[in-house]
Amino acid sequence: MRKHTLLFTSLIILLISSCSNPQKGWITDLDEAAKVSAETNKDVILIFTGSDWNQESMDLSENLFTKKFFATGTKKYVLCNIDIVQDTELLDEAILQKNYDIASNYAVQQFPSVILMTPEMDIYGSFKALSKDATVTTFYEQVESYSASKEKLVSLKTLIEETEGIEKAKNMDLFLDSLSPTQRKSYKPFILEIIELDSDSSADLKPKYLLQLQYMTALDLGEEGDLESAGAGLFSLARSGMLDPARNQEALFMGSYMYAMSETATGNQLVEWLTEAIDADPENPSVEQIRENIEQIKESYAEN
Q: Which runs of consecutive H residues, i.e. helices, occur in the chain?
A: 2-20, 30-40, 55-63, 67-73, 93-105, 136-144, 147-162, 165-178, 188-197, 206-223, 227-238, 245-262, 267-280, 287-303
- Per-residue pLDDT tens over the stretch 7-33: 333 333 333 333 434 556 899 999 999
Confidence at 37, pLDDT banded by 50, 70, 90: very high
Q: Which residues of 251-276 are buried (b: 16+ CB within 10 A; e: fewer)?
A: bbbbbbbbbbebeebebeebbebbeb
Average pLDDT, the chain: 90
Q: Which residues contact 233 (CB under 8 A, 6 or more apart)?
A: 214, 217, 218, 221, 255
Nearest Cα residue to 208 out of 197, 222, 224 = 197
Domains of the chain, with CATH numbers?
2-145 (3.40.30.10), 150-303 (1.25.40)
% the chain with pLDDT above 90 = 84
- Per-residue pLDDT tens over the stretch 178-219: 999 999 999 999 999 999 999 999 999 999 999 999 999 999
- Per-residue pLDDT tens over the stretch 122-167: 999 999 878 778 899 999 999 999 999 999 999 999 999 999 999 9
Report pLDDT for 273.
Answer: 97
- Per-residue pLDDT tens over the stretch 260-304: 999 999 999 999 999 999 999 999 999 999 999 999 999 887 765
Identify whether the C-beta of residue 294 lies closer than 8 Å to the C-beta of residue 271: yes
Q: Give CA–CA dist 132/56, Å, rounded.
A: 6
Of residues 92 and 217, the one with the higher pLDDT is 217
The stretch 60-80 carries a mean pLDDT of: 95
Give Dmax (Cα) for the chain.
86
DSSP 73: H
Report pLDDT for 4.
Answer: 39
Report pLDDT for 23.
Answer: 54
Confidence at 89, pLDDT banded by 50, 70, 90: confident
Identify whether the C-beta of residue 185 lies closer than 8 Å to the C-beta of residue 214: no
Q: CA-based angle 214:201:152, to the nearest 5?
A: 75
Q: Is 8 exposed, middle or buried (0-12, 13-18, 19+ CB in 10 A)?
A: exposed
